[in-house]
Structure 1
Amino acid sequence: MLLQIAIGPVSIFIFNLAMTKGVWHALSGVSGVVLGDAFFIVLAIIGIGALIDRSPKVKGWMAYLGGIILVLFGLKMSIDAVQLKEAVGLTDHAFAKALFLTVSSPLTIVFWGGVFSSKIVEAHLKRYQLYLFGFGAVLSTALCQSAIAVCGTVFKQFLPPIIQMRLNVVVGVVLIVFGVRSIVKQYRLACDQS
């Protein structure tokens, strides 16, 4: 459960989804996040995370792609809010958008690969214990993201629509910042390695 404390772009997306579209849309998005994390957890158990971590080129391209996707998501949210469209035109398919946002993050597979590698080394986990640990990680994703969705729905009750629209712009800008930071960080890393 402690692994889920870090708030990233996916959590911000779910929170905003709950505020703008309600808890059911947000929970649909949560199911996409859970499926994406489950996919990466299975890959991490298999060992793909360790392989990607050893290949700077693959990791680099994944960082660029993830950053570009975050920037595009952020731009879409901000533009829709400024044009006074219904917030987050993305929410028509909350499940697919959240799944895509989760899977597009290169840090997710590296993160889960690192978690499982360290668990294997530190705790000498057997295969079935790794699967139990993975199930617990997926369950904690579901619980934490659902709690974020509920919090977004609760906050919606206290905020007037104009503030909600402004928050959409802020969330869009935050996603853009996350994306640009990922791209810049990868670019600097690539420059340092050359």
Structure 2
Amino acid sequence: MFHDYGVINFWTFLAGALVIVMIPGPNSLYVLRTGISRGMRAAYRGVAGVVLGDMFLIFLAWAGIATLIQASPHVFTAVKYLGALFLSWLGIKIIWSALRQPPQDAPVPAVRQENYFLKALMLSITNPKSILFYVSFFIQFIDPATAHSALAFSVLGAVLQLISLSWMTFLLLTGAAVARWLGTRRRLVALVNSLTGLLFIGFAARLAATQS
């Protein structure tokens, strides 16, 4: 069935995609943190940003941009450090916000609005390793003899996004339960947010240290 669309070894792809999506990363962590601290509506704005960013990366992989980045050390380095800087900035911002939590008996301040969609989108598209992943992973499951590689990329991309949406929905439902349990425990919320910020800084350091 899937071979008609230029896709080979579909079930192997499905198993690999499930494992890859469930590995913790900046995207899922940001969506989970947003769901816990800002609610489901804000979190799904982040989910929409992640999905659009992944679709854009899949398009770049199909268009051959990933190969260009891999072949050009200067381009790869520039994109890599841009992604690391963004992750560091986001991590520091999360930690700073957590440290500025008011005292336990203080009134709850108004929630400052932020563009969750845009931040999640930037998280998706500023990681060069994600671009290279899409071309190196997807290409293994596309029939080299197919005359419609765009269709094959679309089928695999749709399946991957369906898995990603399902997994992030599960994370959000889990996060909603955690948020209800946290309730007014502001110090614990601040600790969770601080740890999240540190993880983002760790992701940035790991990205900056990677080689093309």
TM-score normalised by L of structure 1:
0.86
1:32–1:95 contact (8 Å) kept in structure 2:
yes
Structure ranking higher in helix proportion = 1
2:101 is the counterpart of 1:76: no
Take 2:110 and 2:78, find their aligned partners in 1: how far apart are those partners? Answer: 31
Give the aligned CA root-mean-square deviation in angstroms: 2.3
Match of 2:137 among 106, 109, 115: 115
The aligned counterpart of 1:173 is 198
CA distance in 2, matches of 1:155, 1:124: 49
| Structure 1 runs not aligned, ≥5 long | none
- The reply to whether residue 158 of structure 1 matches residue 181 of structure 2 is yes
Q: Contact (CA 8 Å) 2:142, 2:152: kept in 1 or not?
A: no
Amino acid at match of 1:140: I
Residue 161 of structure 1 and its aligned partner are, at CA, apart by 2.8
CA distance in 1, matches of 2:110, 2:28: 17
Q: Which residue of 2 aligns with 1:133?
A: 156
Partner of 1:104: 126
Task: Report the equivalent of 1:55.
Answer: 72
Unaligned ranges ≥5, structure 2? 1-16, 103-108
CA distance in 2, matches of 1:40, 1:87: 36
Matching residue's letter, 2:191: R
* Alpha-carbon distance in 1 for matches of 2:115, 2:68: 32
Q: Percent identity?
A: 29
The separation in 1 between residues aligned to 2:63 and 2:167, in whole angstroms, is 25
Distance 1:42 1:140 in 2: 18
Q: Decide whether the 8 Å contact of 2:88 with 2:204 is kept in 1.
A: yes
User: 1:165, CA displacement in angstroms?
Assistant: 1.4
Aligned position for 2:47: 30
Is the Cα contact below 8 Å between 2:36 and 2:175 reproduced in 1?
yes
CA distance in 2, matches of 1:148, 1:53: 32
Contact persistence 1:81–1:87 (CA under 8 A): no
> Shift of the alpha carbon at 1:176?
0.8
Equivalent residue of 1:68, what SS? helix
- Work out which of the two has the higher radius of gyration on C-alpha atoms and give 1 or 2: 2
Q: CA deviation at 1:36?
A: 0.3
**Do the aligned partners of residues 8 and 124 (structure 1) sit closer, same or farther apart at CA in structure 2, a change above 3 Å counting?**
farther
TM-superposed deviation, 1:24: 1.0
Kindly state the Cα deviation for residue 88 of structure 1 after the two structures are TM-superposed.
9.0
After the TM superposition, which of the residue ranges 17-26 and 104-113 deviates more from structure 2? Answer: 104-113
For residues 136-159 of structure 1, give each alpha carbon's deviation from its aligned partner in whole angstroms, at most 9, with x where no partner exists.
122222222222222211211122
Q: Distance in 1 between matches of 2:145 and 2:43?
A: 37
